[in-house]
Amino acid sequence: MISLLLPSWPKTLAICLAFFFCLVAKPARAAEPPGVAIGSKSFTESVILGEILSQLARQTGAVVSHRAELGGTRILWEALKKGDIDAYVDYTGTIRDELLAGELPASSPVANNKTNDFQQLRAGLQKHQIHLSMPLGFNNTYALGMRETLAAKLNIKTISDLQKQPGLALGLSDEFVERKDGWRQLASHYRLPQKNMRTMNHTLAYQGLVNDSIQITDLYTTDAEIPFYQLRVLEDDLAFFPSYQAVLLIRADLFQRAPLAAEALLRLEGKLTSTAIAALSARVKLEKISETVVAAQWLRQNLEPNLLVPDDDQSARQRRLLQRLGQATVEHLFLVVVSLLAAILVAVPLGIYAARHDRMGQIVLAMVGIVQTLPSLALLVFMIPFFGLGPTSAIVALFCYSLLPIVRNTYSGLRQIPPTTCESAEVIGLSAWDKLRLVEFPLALPLVLSGIKTAAVINVGTATIGALVGAGGYGSVILTGIRLLDIPLILQGAIPAALMALLAQYLFGWIEKLLVSPGLRLNR
């Protein structure tokens, strides 16, 4: 029997080997290109640098996303540590005094703001798994500035000269006010007496100088507006401001995940001068050329001679704008609808519970009221460590803001039902659930829908700040318009948001007609 089976072994072995080689010889599916996320802050220079980095990485075949205009330093730093972005441009003074504050040795020259000891900075960043590049080639430090004509009239040349002018009004960016190397420490260092100070958007502060509503503001020394508006940069005669060399912060794991892209980003080291970056900013802010085109043209002239530069004629700009508005509409609707549906599912039961339990009901109402008083931007930033950048953080924040009107209106709608009506329902033998379903909730429905309508309108407006954490929506268009002082662009985001709010009101008015008995409608 065994001898009969032996001749079959070579055939079986040949079949197995053939099957194995077929598997091996089968063309492997091409590996997906690595994904790389580049971040940038909400000022023009940072957005341009983000575009340059994005296009450099894209030349290596990586799938690159540029998460632009993400707000202040802390938002990008938390996003970098969490892995929501892989790289962005920051400045040595900011790294030293903001990101690594308290982490550097107290005796080191870095901590004393006297030198740029890259070894100290690198060691501090390595603890966070962040790689520090060499300087990109320019120093963009903070400064104080004012109109040249006013400075000449008052004979102000240095920051110390401000001691003699206590009545001057200051308009400072919110980040500069709060930074450890910002206004409070500067005022203490120079013993400045000015008390008339307000915070405002960095770009809008320039308009304040021109309109004379403020006399002094904080500047970035590479700002294109300095020569355009004929401003005088005050000399830092007591050497308060440290050096702010532009550098790249890159997640260390990017060198394993996408080594070609990581190395491509480092090609920017030493390639940008202060004059060059100021000229690029001027082309965007003053000539109204898109950051994508400006970045591509610079790369083609300096690093990538074969790079294709996008068209920037009027039709191309309109096409890009329509695409952006279409995408923003979808993103805005997503933020509003998802957050509102989640709020309805949670807030209506909470309102019912609050109406049924007096003591706990007051606690519930107090808690949702406290959430409503939190500043929207602070709530968004608070969500980043838990949910990262993107729509999730914005949706959770909008969900929190939607709770109060729905909970309170549900509570009020149920509490205003006459006790005799509830007693009648009990007399005819309805259970607690049937009483709520058939009697109480239909009577309270007009107020419940009114609360949902209010929450929807609030969400449409508040969702615009979701762009600061990369959630998109109409806020991304509005923020770009503010940054570029482009009123038509601001309106292209603000008007659709207003129309969406009106549409939400109309929609819930129609739902009320559909669901509520005519005798119970609020407009009766």
> Which CATH topology does 142-233 take?
D-Maltodextrin-Binding Protein; domain 2 (3.40.190)
- Report how far apart, in Å, the C-alpha atoms of 341 and of each of 337, 360, 395, 400, 412 are: 6, 24, 11, 12, 20
Of 26 and 444, more confident: 444
* Secondary structure element (H or E) that encloses residue 365, with its range: helix 358-373
Report d(CA 241, CA 237) in Å as an integer.
Answer: 10
Residue 397 one-letter amino acid = A
Task: Give residue 520's pLDDT.
Answer: 57
Helix (H, G, I), strand (E, B) or coil at 271: coil
Residue with more model confidence, 14 or 458: 458
Taking the CA atoms of residue 375, residue 385, residue 70 and residue 257 in that order, the dihedral angle to the nearest 10 degrees is -170
pLDDT for position 105 = 66
| Percent of the chain clearing pLDDT 70 (strictly above) | 88
Q: What number is the average pLDDT over the span 319-326?
A: 81
**What pLDDT is recorded for position 425?**
67
Instruction: Summarize pLDDT for 469-478 with one digit per residue, the tens.
Output: 888 889 888 8
Contacts of residue 30, defined as CB under 8 A and 6 or more positions apart, other chains included, come to none
Spatial separation of the C-alpha atoms in residues 521 and 513, rounded to whole Å:
8
Q: Which of 402, 389, 406 is nearest to 339 (CA)?
A: 402
pLDDT band at 409 (very low <50, low <70, confident <90, very high): very high
Q: Which overall architecture, per CATH, does domain 315-520 show?
A: Orthogonal Bundle (1.10)
Residue 88's SS3 state is strand
Q: Which CATH architecture does the domain made up of 35-139+244-312 adopt?
A: 3-Layer(aba) Sandwich (3.40)
Amino acid at the residue 251: R
DSSP string, 216-265: EEEEETT-THHHHTTEEEPB-TT--S---BEEEEEETTHHHH-HHHHHHH
**Sorting pLDDT into bands at 50, 70 and 90, what band is 12?**
very low
Average pLDDT over residues 242-263: 93
**Residue 83 to residues 67, 79, 474, Cα–Cα distance (Å):** 13, 6, 25
- Cα–Cα dist 163/192, whole Å: 5
Nearest to 220 by CA among 398, 49, 25: 49
- Report the residue count for the chain: 524
The packing angle between helices 376-387 and 73-82, to 10°, is 20
Q: How many CA atoms are closer than 13 Å to the CA of 141, on its beta-carbon side?
A: 16
Confidence of residue 4 (pLDDT cuts 50, 70, 90): very low
Cβ 249 vs Cβ 79: under 8 Å? no
Instruction: Write the DSSP symbol of residue 139.
Output: B
* CB of 95 closer than 8 Å to CB of 247: yes
Question: For the residues 393-400, what does the mean pLDDT come to?
Answer: 92
Query: Strand, coil or helix: what is 198?
Result: strand
Q: Output 460 or 9, whichever has higher pLDDT.
A: 460
Q: What mean pLDDT is predicted for residues 403-408?
A: 93
Cβ atoms of residues 147 and 232 within 8 Å? yes
CATH 3.40.190.120 range(s) for the chain read 142-233
Residue 9 has pLDDT above 60, yes or no: no
> Residue 116 pLDDT > 70, yes or no?
no
Q: Which two tokens stand for residue 91?
A: 């400045």
Amino acid (one-letter) located at 364: V
H-run or E-run covering 9: helix 8-25
Per-residue pLDDT band for 310 (boundaries 50, 70, 90) equals: confident
Centroid of chain to Cα 117 = 31
CB burial class (10 A; 0-12, 13-18, 19+) of residue 258? buried
- Kindly report the three-state secondary structure assignment for every residue of 341-354: HHHHHHHHHHHHHH
Closest residue by Cα to residue 244 from 43, 98, 68: 98
Q: What is the mean pLDDT of residues 292-314?
A: 85
Mean pLDDT of 344-369: 90
Beta strands 197-200 and 170-173, pairing class = parallel
In the chain the first and final C-alpha atoms are separated, in Å, by 98
Q: Identity (one letter) of the amino acid at 502? A: L
**CA pair distance 308, 48, nearest whole angstrom:** 17
Q: What is the pLDDT of residue 373?
A: 85
Q: How far apart are CA 48 and CA 1, in angstroms?
A: 81
How far does Cα 397 stand from its chain's mean position?
13
| Of 498, 28, 47, residue with least CA distance to 283 | 47
- CA 298, 245, 185 angle in degrees (round to 5)? 135
Residue 496 half-sphere exposure toward CB, CA atoms < 13 A: 24
The confidence band for 521, taking pLDDT boundaries of 50, 70 and 90, is low
Q: Are strands 130-132 and 246-251 parallel, antiparallel or unpaired?
A: antiparallel
Label the pairing between strands 63-67 and 142-147.
unpaired
- According to CATH, where is 3.40.190.10 located in the chain? 35-139+244-312
What per-residue string of b and e applies to 162-191 under the rule 16 or more CB within 10 Å gives b? Answer: beebeebbbbbbebbbbbebbbeebbeebe
Query: How much is the pTM?
Result: 0.77
pLDDT band for position 287 (50/70/90)?
confident
pLDDT in tens, 207-239: 888 888 999 999 988 888 888 889 999 999 998
**pLDDT band for position 285 (50/70/90)?**
confident
Query: What's the confidence (pLDDT) of residue 25?
Result: 44
Evaluate whether 39 touches 76 at the Cβ level (below 8 Å).
yes
pLDDT in tens, 63-79: 999 998 887 788 899 89
CATH 1.10.3720.10 domain residues, the chain: 315-520
